[in-house]
Amino acid sequence: MRKQTLKRRTFLKTSTLAGAGFAIGFTFDPFVSLATGSGPSVSRTKGEKLGLWVRIASDGTITLIAPSSEMGQGVNTSLSMIIAEELEADWQSIKTETAPAHSDYKNPNNPLQFTGGSSSLRGFWEPLREVGAAAREMLKTAAAQKWDVPVNECEAKSGKILHKKSGREIGYGELAEAAGKLDVPSDPVLKSPEDYELIGKPVTRLDLPAKVTGSAQFGIDVRIPGMLFATVRQSPVFEGEVLSFDETAAKNVRGVVAVVQVSNGIAVVADNTWRAKKGMEALNPQFKDGKTADESSMPGLDSQQVREQFLAALDDEGKGENDAEHAAAGLPFLDLEYEVPFLAHATLEPMNCTAYVRDDFCEVWAPTQNQEMSMDAAKDITDLDEDQIRIHTTLLGGGFGRRLETDYVKQAVTVSKLLEKPVQLTWMREEDIQHDFYRPASMSRFQISLGRDGFPLKWENQLAAPSILKRYFSPLGWFGFDPTSTEGADVLPYAIPDFDFDYSLVDPGVPVGFWRSVGSSHNAFYTESAIDEAAHTAKQDPFEYRRKLLAQKPRFRKVLEKVAADANWGRRIPEGHGLGIALHKSFASIVGAVLEVSANASGNLKMHKVWITIDCGKVVNPDTVRAQMEGGFVFGLSAALGEEITLKNGRVEQSNFHDYTILRMKGVPEISVSIIENRTLDDDQIGGVGEPAVPLAAPVLANAIFAVTGKRYRSLPLSKHGVSLI
């Protein structure tokens, strides 16, 4: 089991644990004022030490410098649980701050310092346990030296070191300074899972008190004395440029102080966000059309054209054929075509960033998932060095992949640099919907030959989709390769003797990005609908059909069986009701779902209940796993039912929540979650939970609708087919 983890331990000894030693001392705290974003009071001491994970204050307060962005996934609590477990800390004494941009806080599983890909626990599970264990051993040693007793007579418990023989005890706070002067143990002993007191228990989240009292500070809540407020307007056509604007009219609006051109648009700066918005209306900027607009040589891009590009690519790729022999035998052959639209992230907190650029220092307060690229953006624009820039990650009012981008960070830094004042730049919702990096639209075809037993003999699948990674690494475009497009369709758990998958990279010129669950967000709809169609064609029960195809995949089978058992699959269901089922693996977690729906006479749908089972390997906070299953599923349902971004003449047609329709509470089904835990798995077999429920929603809903109505919907959103909720 240890082979793979040894490599990571080496990394820890040289970098992280060296930091942990310092962190135990309580003399160090330059980040306190920074991380809270409470003001521009900046410590610029050259001697600032980074790479710190845990700080123990003299009053015993333990602060985790959390390396991940908190965007609702409860990560700060989960990471704190890991530290507290190994450190034997008193849970009530734990606090968190978000780490600055620095390579020491990079997730060992990710290429850059960012939070995404459901990777936080997978990446930090091992390093954080080691940091906690090392700190605990150092505290024990400090106590042993103080009392002049052997270390092995000392025990760590609830934030104290106990010496049972003499009945003495001492709090961590009192030991912190002495402990900080000790050497960091090279190979601290980790607790055995049987001894866990926090990990695996449903712990109350640390961030919720602030979130129910309105005191939680999101990016948009940052307030700096003397701060100005700005808003932007960007070209409605992708990559268009500003052509003209009425600066005088804008400056006549009360409170407007400046008009600043930024990348891809123009900003109005005022003493209040609403006045900046009024100023923008008066400014009335006009834009020169960009590459996707109607130009003399080329018609403007619209959704139909994107679809034609997908179809052309799929036609080029060609379809699998029904073998003559197979056809002659009269065996079933399925020829299927599916499609999904572009989608917006629509985080409820609109894009915003606050920046304060001075001659020799720059501070950025950003609700960002991407500390490293925010740092790079600030460096590029200000020409300052890394040690002259501070990136403060605030709480994020939703991320879902949108905040891996730094477009809004660049704009805020640009404006602040020019005005030499602190500036908070906030997008109106219309900008957010029309200038996203969208979940790629795509189309997918299947040709599936079923054998005499009804199971697939041959499975041929062609996907046409834009590439997300091409923007980051253009050579991928030359090879037509992008795992973030193909994940979830290129490998299936089902036993299929002849399996073929092809990907055609199509680039219609629409900016695309990482959207919660990425490739699986469309591929699970395609593959889990197709396997369901195969089961029904074979006149077999869709649960039994999948189960038989998973004979060699015990982990998958167990999830499927558990979720079917929870839903009491096979029971007599009420007239007009139907059950759908789906199974999908993403981000190293396997999730199964069963949904019960009913349809009334006019075809309107009621979702009664969904059962979800996840096997994510290890479980740190089960209530967080449940919350992410619930939220992820609803996020997927929202898209499946009613979300769609369409294009006309190079422009996004939707602009706000009246036409980009997100699911509200009405109609959301009851959700029951089961967690399959497997603590004996290797450490690297811990799965993510933030994304893996999203992909299940569309296929389980489409499959349930088929079960109850006999109608098979192969394109999303379902609202296009007249499906609506009761």
Partner 1 sequence: MQTLIINGIRHQVDVEDEMPLLWVLRDELGLTGTKFGCGIGQCGACTVQINGQAVRSCSFPVIAAVGAEIKTIEGLYENGYHPVQQAWIEEQVPQCGYCQSGQIMATTALLKNNPESSEEEIEQKMTNLCRCGTYVRVRRGIRRSAELMLEQEG
Give the per-residue contact string, 211-250, with partner 1 (x = CB under 8 A; - = no): xxxxxxxx-xx-x-----x---------------------
Nearer to partner 1, 218 or 408 (CB): 218
d(CA 233, CA 432) in angstroms, rounded, equals: 10
Nearest approach in angstroms of CB 274 to partner 1 is 4
Assign 505 to helix, strand or coil. strand
Sign of CA pseudo-dihedral 5, 614, 339, 643: negative
Nearer to partner 1, 670 or 682 (CB): 670
Nearer to partner 1, 472 or 657 (CB): 657
d(CA 409, CA 365) in angstroms, rounded, equals: 9
Using rule CB under 8 A, residue 208 touches partner 1 = yes
Nearest approach in angstroms of CB 430 to partner 1 is 8
Q: Which position among 60, 632, 642, 717 is part of the footprint of partner 1 (CB under 8 A)?
A: 632
Nearest approach in angstroms of CB 275 to partner 1 is 8
Using rule CB under 8 A, residue 666 touches partner 1 = yes
What are the helix (H) ranges across 88-237? 120-147, 172-180, 208-213
Q: Using an 8 Å Cβ cutoff, are 219 and 367 in contact?
A: yes
Assign 707 to helix, strand or coil. helix
Using rule CB under 8 A, residue 339 touches partner 1 = no
Nearest approach in angstroms of CB 480 to partner 1 is 33
Complete DSSP assignment for 49-113: -----EEE-TTS-EEEEE-S--SSS-HHHHHHHHHHHHHT--GGGEEEEE--S-GGGS-TTSSSS
Using rule CB under 8 A, residue 623 touches partner 1 = yes
Sign of CA pseudo-dihedral 646, 647, 652, 655: negative
Q: Using an 8 Å Cβ cutoff, are 93 and 100 in contact?
A: no
DSSP conformation class of 151 = G
Q: Which position among 71, 94, 224, 353 is part of the footprint of partner 1 (CB under 8 A)?
A: 71
Nearest approach in angstroms of CB 529 to partner 1 is 22
Using rule CB under 8 A, residue 10 touches partner 1 = no
Q: Using an 8 Å Cβ cutoff, are 50 and 104 in contact?
A: yes
Q: Which position among 426, 447, 523, 589 is part of the footprint of partner 1 (CB under 8 A)?
A: 426
Nearer to partner 1, 227 or 573 (CB): 227
HEC sequence for 232-258 = EEECCECCCEEEECCHHHHHCCCCEEE
- Which residue reads 């010496």 in tokens? 163
Nearer to partner 1, 225 or 710 (CB): 225
Nearer to partner 1, 309 or 424 (CB): 424
Q: Which position among 157, 254, 452, 720 is part of the footprint of partner 1 (CB under 8 A)?
A: 254
Enumerate long-range contacts of 574-580, CB under 8 Å, 24 or more apart.
Answer: 574/598, 576/600, 576/708, 577/608, 577/708, 578/704, 578/705, 578/706, 578/707, 578/708, 578/709, 579/704, 579/707, 580/532, 580/542, 580/699, 580/700, 580/701, 580/702, 580/703, 580/704, 580/705, 580/706, 580/707
Contact segment (CB under 8 A) with partner 1 among 464-472, 528-536, 553-561, 668-676 equals: 668-676
Using rule CB under 8 A, residue 620 touches partner 1 = no
At 706, give phi and psi (nearest 5°): -60, -45
Using rule CB under 8 A, residue 429 touches partner 1 = yes
Nearest approach in angstroms of CB 595 to partner 1 is 14
d(CA 652, CA 301) in angstroms, rounded, equals: 10
d(CA 137, CA 188) in angstroms, rounded, equals: 7
Q: Which of residues 74-133 bind partner 1 (CB under 8 A)?
A: 74
Using rule CB under 8 A, residue 600 touches partner 1 = no
Q: Which position among 43, 204, 286, 600 is part of the footprint of partner 1 (CB under 8 A)?
A: 204
Give the per-residue contact string, 372-411, with partner 1 (x = CB under 8 A; - = no): -----------------------xxxxxx-----------
Nearest approach in angstroms of CB 308 to partner 1 is 32
Nearest approach in angstroms of CB 394 to partner 1 is 11
Q: Using an 8 Å Cβ cutoff, are 246 and 252 in contact?
A: no
d(CA 148, CA 143) in angstroms, rounded, equals: 8
Contact segment (CB under 8 A) with partner 1 among 25-33, 203-211, 439-447, 715-723 equals: 203-211
- Which residue reads 């003495």 in tokens? 168
Using rule CB under 8 A, residue 670 touches partner 1 = yes
d(CA 6, CA 680) in angstroms, rounded, equals: 18
Nearest approach in angstroms of CB 623 to partner 1 is 6
Nearest approach in angstroms of CB 212 to partner 1 is 4
Assign 461 to helix, strand or coil. strand
Nearer to partner 1, 672 or 678 (CB): 672
Of 456, 439, 389, 436, the C-alpha closest to 417 is: 389
What lies within 8 Å, CB to CB, of 157 at 6+ separation is 88
Q: Using an 8 Å Cβ cutoff, are 590 and 559 in contact?
A: yes
Of 236, 227, 270, the C-alpha closest to 250 is: 270
Q: Which amino acid is at 490?
A: D
Is-cis flag, bond preceding 717, omega within 30? Answer: yes
Contact segment (CB under 8 A) with partner 1 among 47-55, 117-125, 205-213, 484-492 equals: 205-213
Nearest approach in angstroms of CB 392 to partner 1 is 16
Contact segment (CB under 8 A) with partner 1 among 19-27, 332-340, 476-484, 660-668 equals: 660-668
Nearer to partner 1, 373 or 697 (CB): 697
Q: Which position among 298, 312, 348, 491 is part of the footprint of partner 1 (CB under 8 A)?
A: 348
d(CA 439, CA 401) in angstroms, rounded, equals: 10
Nearest approach in angstroms of CB 209 to partner 1 is 7
Nearest approach in angstroms of CB 518 to partner 1 is 17
Tokens matching residue 560: 């499927």
Using rule CB under 8 A, residue 420 touches partner 1 = no
Tokens matching residue 687: 């799965």
Q: Number of residues in contact with partner 1, rule: CB under 8 A?
A: 65
Q: Which position among 68, 73, 406, 444 is part of the footprint of partner 1 (CB under 8 A)?
A: 73
Nearer to partner 1, 291 or 664 (CB): 664
Q: Which position among 357, 634, 641, 686 is part of the footprint of partner 1 (CB under 8 A)?
A: 634
Q: Which position among 109, 186, 248, 272 is part of the footprint of partner 1 (CB under 8 A)?
A: 272
Which residues are at the interface with partner 1 (CB under 8 A)? Answer: 71-74, 204-205, 207-218, 220-221, 223, 229, 254, 271-275, 277, 346-350, 395-400, 426, 428-429, 623, 627, 630-635, 637-638, 656-658, 662-668, 670-671
